[in-house]
Amino acid sequence: MSVVRYRLGLGAAALLLLGACGFHLQGHHPLPTQLRVSYVQAADRQSDFVQDLRKELLTSGAQLTADSKDATAVVRILTDSFQRRVLSVSVTDQPVEYEITYIVRFSVSFGDKEVLPVQEVSAVRDYTFDETILLAKQNEEAILREALAHDLADVVMRRLTNL
């Protein structure tokens, strides 16, 4: 019994310390009321970023409309691009390391009023490359691209919840 009480006491002390330092579990913050009925305007509605942003909006309680006239807020995705560049090459002039960058530019308006002017967010990762395992490295790049898009959707959502 004393071991159980000791563990309970230790757990309670840990919770008190976490609460005292301002720690909060990460979760979805409620959206401003103007974003409750939103329209996402994007040139490529099937991109990884746009799909993740739409999921995040739905999870946060927004209703997405198919027509901007029905929306109280319009999220405009002006740029949704992915770039890859060589970071280093081998002695035989073959790429051995790449850097990938995902860039998103967006703005938000409530009706005719622009509440968030054009913002640019980006995320960068690098990875090694080996042409002997080309298929695996292409798969790794695709996974990193999806992860970058998800990270940027999270950044945009944090900015939207602070409007």
Q: What DSSP designation does 138 have? A: H
pLDDT at 102: 97
Inform me whether the pLDDT recorded for 154 exceeds 80. yes
Percent of the chain with pLDDT over 70: 82
* pLDDT tens per residue, range 100-138: 999 999 999 998 899 999 999 999 999 888 877 878 888
Inform me whether the pLDDT recorded for 24 exceeds 90. no
pLDDT at 152: 97
| Bridging pattern class, strands 63-64 and 37-42 | parallel
| Bridging pattern class, strands 95-110 and 113-128 | antiparallel
pLDDT at 130: 82
Query: How many Å separate Cα 75 from the centre of its chain?
Result: 15
Instruction: Please report, as a single letter, which amino acid is at residue 121.
Output: V
* pLDDT tens per residue, range 57-98: 999 999 999 999 999 999 999 999 999 999 999 898 888 899
| Bridging pattern class, strands 73-89 and 37-42 | parallel
| Bridging pattern class, strands 73-89 and 63-64 | unpaired
Which domains can be identified in the chain, with CATH numbers?
A: 29-161 (3.30.160.150)
Which among 14-18, 23-27, 30-34 has the top mean pLDDT?
A: 30-34
pLDDT at 131: 77
The band of 29, judged by pLDDT with boundaries at 50, 70 and 90, is low
pLDDT at 18: 57
Q: Is the distance from CB of 163 to CB of 108 less than 8 angstroms?
A: yes
